Structure formats: C-alpha cells, structure tokens
Amino acid sequence: MTTVSTLGSHCALQLLKGAKDEGLNSLIITKKSRESLYRRFPFIDNYILVDEFKEIIKPEIQSQLKDSESVLIPHGTLISEVGIEKVEKDLNVPIFGNKWILRWESDRYLKEKLMKAAGLRSLKSFKPEEIDRLCIVKLPGAAGGKGYFIVSSYDEFRKIVDDLISRGSVLPGSEEDFYIQEYSVGVPVYFQYFYSPITKNLELLGIDRRYETSADAFGRIPSKHQLASNISPTYVVVGNIPLVLRESLLEEAFLIGAQFVKAADKLVPPGMIGPFCIEGVYDKDGLFIPFEFSARIVAGTNLYLNGSPYSTMLYNEPMSMGRRISREINLAKKKDIMHKILT
Ligand code: AMP
C-alpha cells in the first residue's frame, strides 16, 4: 500500500493525519530528539530515525522509503535543511508535486521571473546602489523572515551590512546575495491553493496571515518611542492567523492562482501539481501586491486541520491541505496515473 512520508517538522502532523484519514500508510523521518513528540500521535505508522534530516539521501534510507512504497511530501524543512541541490540530484524517491519548481522558489531571480510570467503585479528589486525607496532586504536562505531588515537608501544599507559583518552575522561580500525588494505597505494575506493536474481544477483551500515579530508588535508602542529608541521591525514568523477575505476580492484571488498555474505550466514542466501559496499584501488602494510564492505546502495550512471556510464550501467533510494531497494520491492510483502527480 502507498505510504505517505515526510520529514518530522513544519506540517508533518497535518500531512500524516490526512494520509490516515484517506486510508494510506504514514511514515515520518524524524530526528531522534523529536521521536517522543511524534509517538504521541496514533496516526503515524512507521518511523525512520535520523540525527539530521540530510541523512534522507543515504542509500539505506532511500531503500527503506522505496520498500514502503513511499510518496515523499516536500515542505519547507526539506528545502532549508536538506538543500535544493541534494533534493534535485541525490533524492530518488518519488516526490509528490513538481520537485523542479522548488528551485524556482529558492532562487530569488527565478522566482521573480515566474511571478512576472504569471502577469502578477510585480514589485521592483534593486541592486544596493540603486535603492531609492523603502525596501525590505531578504537574506539568502533565510527561514521564516529571519534576518530581514528595512532600508531606504544605499547608505543605510551599507551601515547595517557593515554592522552585521563586524558582528560576524554575515560574511564580507555576502551582501551580493541579499535580495532587495521594494517594500509594499499594506496588510499581509497568504492564499493557500491546491491545483489538481488530474481534474485541472484550482481550489482555494484557505487563507491566512502570518504573525510576525516584531513587525506585528509595532502598533503597541507609541511612534515617538519607536523613533526615540531607533528600533526597526523584524519579520520572524511565530505563527499564523486565519483570515476570510471580503467576498468581492475572491474572484481576483482565483485569477491570481490560475495565472500562476498557467505560467508554471509553461516555464517549469510538468507545471504546478498540488499545494502552493501566493503571498502578498493589500495596499492602501485595496490592490493585491504579491511579493513571494511557495510552490509546496505552507505551514499556514496547519490552521485548517478541520477544514477552512473555503474548503468547507468545496467538501462536505473536513479537508485539510494534507488530506487533499492524500486524496489526490488515491485518485491518481485509482486511475493508474501516478506519473501525473509525482516527479
Ligand atoms: P517572505 O520570507 O518573503 O515571505 O517575507 C517575510 C515577511 O516579510 C512577510 O510575511 C511580510 O510580512 C514581509 N515582507 C516580505 N516582502 C515584503 C514586501 N515586499 N513588502 C512588504 N512586506 C514584505
């Protein structure tokens, strides 16, 4: 029987609960230190214990996965801890979704290219010397907004970078790899989509916003104190908050998702398969300005284990993103077209 497998972090519990709910086997590749946590949950059938997630590329672990007819579900930790190169070159177990698009998610410039090809409103990106407006500086490989900072001129950028270098937080020269993007003032909204290459249907299964420290703490301090203490916001994600959109904005949300699927189809064969997320803000004029995408399941879907208002309108049963993935696996198995959902 097919086994749904994943690394033990991020949204593993949701994925494996969804697998069990759909009648599939479940397997977790967990660090030994977290084994006792995962043992608390009765829906996990099999365990592979590792010291580091990187061990997933070891031949003996890959054989174990193959022997259990595993479909590996990628999530943020696979990219951040195993690394995109190893996932592309050394990981030979079937992966749910298009593993090639994960490179487009990791590489800022490919990311920009795909978003532009999708015809989404785009934000300008800058070389340090060109900064002429409020910008957010994104560090390479930064997980969950860690280390991001705000600048509005080259001098300011230089000062912060020199300070980071002198404190040993970044290596001299590494600022070349920082991604500097126009800052869009607005309220953040994250669309959680699922695209089925089998039914060719795009589903919006949930919407959330992130709870980020210290950006979301700023309204709690009077601005004169912000200025006096010279503090600037950081964007480290600590959790997710559910959101429903004004109904009049929903049509555009579907359009954005559909445009993205179309562009991925053209630029990154075999195209978008399964979960993805478009992340952006609604600006002062109510326009949605996307600044990022994730081409795989995002942790914000953990909000909706029992379904969201949007999934409830599509399914008369609790439908998490994790469960939806397993349902797609079952559908592909039934039709004998697993090749359509795996890479
Ligand atoms: P990211 O890692 O790109 O998803 O960014 C982390 C957080 O930084 C987001 O959740 C937003 O709060 C903020 N952010 C990123 N890019 C922008 C942008 N261009 N304009 C405004 N806020 C942004």
Pairing of strands 125-126, 288-294: unpaired
Q: Which of 264, 145, 110, 252 minimizes the C-alpha distance to 191?
A: 252
Residues of the chain with CATH 3.30.470.20: 106-120+185-340
* Sign of the CA dihedral with 132 first, then 137, 138, and 139 last: positive
Classify domain 106-120+185-340 at the CATH topology level. Answer: D-amino Acid Aminotransferase; Chain A, domain 1 (3.30.470)
State if residue 208 touches ligand 1 by the CB under 6 angstroms criterion. Answer: no
- Provide the 8-state DSSP code for 145: T
Distance between CA atoms of residues 168 and 21, nearest Å? 48
For 257-289, the pLDDT digits (tens) are 999 999 999 999 999 999 999 999 999 999 999
For 114-151, the pLDDT digits (tens) are 999 999 998 999 999 999 999 999 988 757 788 899 99
Task: Please report which residue ranges of 185-268 form alpha helices under DSSP H.
Answer: 223-229, 250-267
Q: Which of 140, 52, 149, 115 minimizes the C-alpha distance to 279?
A: 115
Domain 125-182 -> CATH class: alpha beta
State if residue 106 touches ligand 1 by the CB under 6 angstroms criterion. Answer: no
pLDDT classification of 231: cutoffs 50, 70, 90: confident
State if residue 181 touches ligand 1 by the CB under 6 angstroms criterion. Answer: yes
Atom of ligand 1 nearest to the CA of 190: 10
Domain 3-95 -> CATH class: alpha beta
Residue 223, both tokens: 């601005």
- Say how many Å lie between the first and final Cα of the chain, rounded: 19
State if residue 111 touches ligand 1 by the CB under 6 angstroms criterion. Answer: no
Residues of the chain with CATH 3.30.1490: 125-182
Residues of the chain with CATH 3.40.50.20: 3-95
Residue 204, sorted as left (phi over 0), alpha (psi -120 to 50) or beta, turns out to be beta
| C-alpha distances in Å from residue 271, one per residue of 32, 98, 334 | 36, 7, 22
Q: Structure pTM?
A: 0.96
Give mean pLDDT, residues 88-111: 96
Give mean pLDDT, residues 159-181: 91
Residue 336, both tokens: 């004998």
| C-alpha distances in Å from residue 197, one per residue of 44, 46, 202, 261 | 28, 29, 9, 10
Helix axes 12-21, 321-335, angle to 10 degrees: 50
State if residue 300 touches ligand 1 by the CB under 6 angstroms criterion. Answer: no
For a mutational test of ligand 1's pocket, the pick from 105, 123, 136, i.e. the residue with the most ligand atoms closer than 8 A to its C-beta, is: 136
Q: Which amino acid is at 123?
A: L
Distance between CA atoms of residues 225 and 42, nearest Å? 50
State if residue 14 touches ligand 1 by the CB under 6 angstroms criterion. Answer: no
Atom of ligand 1 nearest to the CA of 184: 20
pLDDT for 142 equals 57
State if residue 292 touches ligand 1 by the CB under 6 angstroms criterion. Answer: yes
Q: Which of 77, 76, 73 minimizes the C-alpha distance to 24?
A: 73
* Sign of the CA dihedral with 78 first, then 80, 84, and 86 last: negative
State if residue 183 touches ligand 1 by the CB under 6 angstroms criterion. Answer: yes
Give the distance (Å) from ligand 1 centre to CA of residue 222: 23
Top-confidence residue, 126 or 225: 126
| C-alpha distances in Å from residue 309, one per residue of 190, 232, 306 | 15, 35, 10
Give the distance (Å) from ligand 1 centre to CA of residue 286: 17
Q: Is the peptide bond before 9 cis (omega within 30 degrees of 0)?
A: no
Is the pLDDT reported for residue 174 higher than 90? no
Distance between CA atoms of residues 154 and 162, nearest Å? 12
pLDDT classification of 226: cutoffs 50, 70, 90: confident
Pairing of strands 235-242, 179-182: unpaired
Least confident of 24-38, 164-178, 259-273, 274-288: 164-178
Q: Which of 4, 2, 1, 93 minimizes the C-alpha distance to 44?
A: 4
Identify whether the C-beta of residue 275 lies closer than 8 Å to the C-beta of residue 321: yes
Q: Rounded to a whole number, what is the largest CA-CA distance in the chain?
A: 65
Calculate the average pLDDT of the chain. 95
Helix (H, G, I), strand (E, B) or coil at 229: helix
